[in-house]
Amino acid sequence: MAGIYIHIPYCKKKCVYCDFYFKINTDDMHEMINCIIKELVRRKKYVKTSRINTIYFGGGTPSILTEKEIKKILSTIYDNYKVCEKPEITLEANPDDLNMKKIANFFNVGVNRLSIGVQSFNDDDLIFLNRNHSREDAISSIKTAQKIGFKNISADLMYGLPNQSLNDWEDNLNLLFDLNIQHLSAYMLTLEKKTKLFEYVKKNKVKMTDDTTVINQYYSLLNIAKKNNFVQYEISNFAKDNVFSKHNTSYWQNKLFLGIGPSAHSFNYESRRWNIASNKKYIEKLNTNNIYFEEEILTINQQYNEYVLTNLRTMWGININVIKSRFGSKFASHTIKMMQKWNEKKYIHESNENVVLTDKGSVFADKIISDLFFVENL
């Protein structure tokens, strides 16, 4: 089984917190779609004999595509890859793009999962974040998608926003759960360099939320999600009735994935590839048959670190027997030794060779994961 990720590198405007790769100028969009199609045809050997069970349009803003463009990309995938019978086909969508006609068109060309970038239901937050939509747009996009027949809807929310109190965050969560969707991605705001937010904070125009409030927001996320029968299956991801994101789950479980488009990453167990993060150069190089990506062959240490990094963030955790058989006894002994202190603090829980983070431990996930990394010559 394998997944295909397609990066659509355009946005209508730049949100203050975001450092993903995109351009606002869409003059080369037609050429970009042609090059994405060329890359799909060129890269089919990358997945070898694997069947494609997930297709994910991410961005940037894939919801600016027309249904014809999506159809063209999907037909190229069907013509060149072995696709399983009912693939999960996700499209990341911004609420301001989602009117009734557009949602129906996405549905009709085969998109069966919508991931809607709500971020907050508070209009003041949305203005501050420089989002292109309002609270009402977000609510109506979800309700319309449900009316059209989408049975797998996810929403992105962010916490730790400047001036967002614990109450504000809980209001966002309660409103979202009342809308009765299947999946939530809740991200703690991270301050990225080269963003407007970074500039505001540096110039003391904006203050980031204090750690205690952010941790309380995280704990209330865990409580409210639980009350609404949502399972936390990855630190930032929650689902009802096991409607997990199959695509993202395969990243976290180290499955093969092919990334298409500028800045997209690919992984095939032994190596990682990342496409050039420039629309202009990507188009130029694809049209002249030149190399448009960099590649890194992963050492066994890096493969082990990748396994710990992705799997320990999920509810399935890491497994000592898997580590022994995939990477060798040296790595299994290292894991057992390094996890001892976290076990004593009850930050991790071990049973039958399987290790997962506890709720308390998930607050310190990054610290625990980097501690379990295997660094040569230490």
Ligand X SMILES: C[S@@+](CC[C@H](N)C(=O)[O-])C[C@H]1O[C@@H](n2cnc3c(N)ncnc32)[C@H](O)[C@@H]1O
Residue closest to ligand X, measured at CB: 117
Min CB(255)–ligand SF4 separation in Å: 24
Q: Which is nearer to ligand SF4, 264 or 320 (CB)?
A: 264
Strand ranges (DSSP E) for the chain?
2-8, 52-59, 83-93, 113-119, 153-159, 183-188, 230-234, 237-240, 257-260, 265-267, 271-275, 293-297, 318-319, 348-351, 354-357
The reply on whether position 29 binds ligand SF4 by CB under 6 A is no
> Which of ligand X, ligand SF4, none is residue 225 near (CB under 5 to 8 Å by kind)?
none
End-to-end CA distance of the chain: 37
93 three-state secondary structure: strand
Q: Which is nearer to ligand SF4, 18 or 243 (CB)?
A: 18
Which residue's structure tokens are 């800045």? 263
Query: What is the distance, to the nearest Å, from the Cα of residue 317 to the centroid of all Cα atoms in its chain?
Result: 18
> Which of ligand X, ligand SF4, none is residue 158 near (CB under 5 to 8 Å by kind)?
ligand X
Query: How far, in Å, CA of 356 to CA of 369, rounded?
Result: 11
Q: Which stretch binds ligand SF4 (CB under 6 A): 7-15, 78-86, 278-286, 315-323?
A: 7-15
Q: Which is nearer to ligand SF4, 21 or 347 (CB)?
A: 21
| Closest listed residue to residue 115, CA positions, set 39, 63, 179 | 63
Min CB(8)–ligand X separation in Å: 9
DSSP secondary structure of 278-310: -HHHHHHHHHTT---EEEEEPPHHHHHHHHHHH
Q: Give me the 48-77 binding string for ligand SF4, x by CB under 6 A, dash otherwise.
A: -----------xxx----------------
State residue 371 phi and psi, 5-degree precision. -70, -30
Q: Which neighbouring-strand residues pair with 231?
A: 239
Going by DSSP bridges, is the β-strand pair 348-351/318-319 parallel, antiparallel, or unpaired? Answer: unpaired
Q: Which is nearer to ligand SF4, 19 or 284 (CB)?
A: 19
Give me the residues that bind ligand X (CB under 6 A), please.
17-18, 20, 59, 61, 92, 94, 117, 119, 156, 158, 187, 189-190, 192
Q: Which stretch binds ligand SF4 (CB under 6 A): 8-16, 171-179, 258-266, 337-345?
A: 8-16
The reply on whether position 196 binds ligand SF4 by CB under 6 A is no
Min CB(65)–ligand X separation in Å: 12
The reply on whether position 3 binds ligand SF4 by CB under 6 A is no
Query: How far, in Å, CA of 279 to CA of 261, rounded?
Result: 9
Q: Which stretch binds ligand SF4 (CB under 6 A): 16-24, 165-173, 201-209, 329-337?
A: 16-24
Min CB(254)–ligand X separation in Å: 21
Min CB(84)–ligand SF4 separation in Å: 29
> Half-sphere exposure (CA, 13 Å, Cβ side) for 374?
22
Given phi > 0 = left and psi -120 to 50 = alpha, else beta, which region is 317? left
Site for ligand SF4 in 102-141 (CB under 6 A): 117
Min CB(28)–ligand SF4 separation in Å: 17
Query: How far, in Å, CA of 158 to CA of 184, rounded?
Result: 11
Work out the burial of residue 288: count CB atoms within 10 Å of its CB; fewer than 13 is exposed, 13-18 middle, 19 or more buried: exposed
Min CB(59)–ligand X separation in Å: 5
The reply on whether position 20 binds ligand SF4 by CB under 6 A is yes
Q: Which neighbouring-strand residues pair with 351?
A: 354
Q: Which is nearer to ligand X, 19 or 284 (CB)?
A: 19
Candidate residues 50, 63, 94, 115; the one interacting with ligand SF4 per rule CB under 6 A: 94
CA distances in angstroms from 296 to 24, 120, 248, 279, 311, listed in the order given:
30, 37, 22, 22, 21
Candidate residues 14, 38, 285, 349; the one interacting with ligand SF4 per rule CB under 6 A: 14
Q: Which residues contact 307 (CB under 8 A, 6 or more apart)?
A: 254, 318, 322, 323, 326, 327
Q: Which is nearer to ligand SF4, 20 or 316 (CB)?
A: 20
Residues forming contacts to ligand SF4 in the complex (CB under 6 A) are: 11, 14-15, 18, 20, 22, 59-61, 94, 117
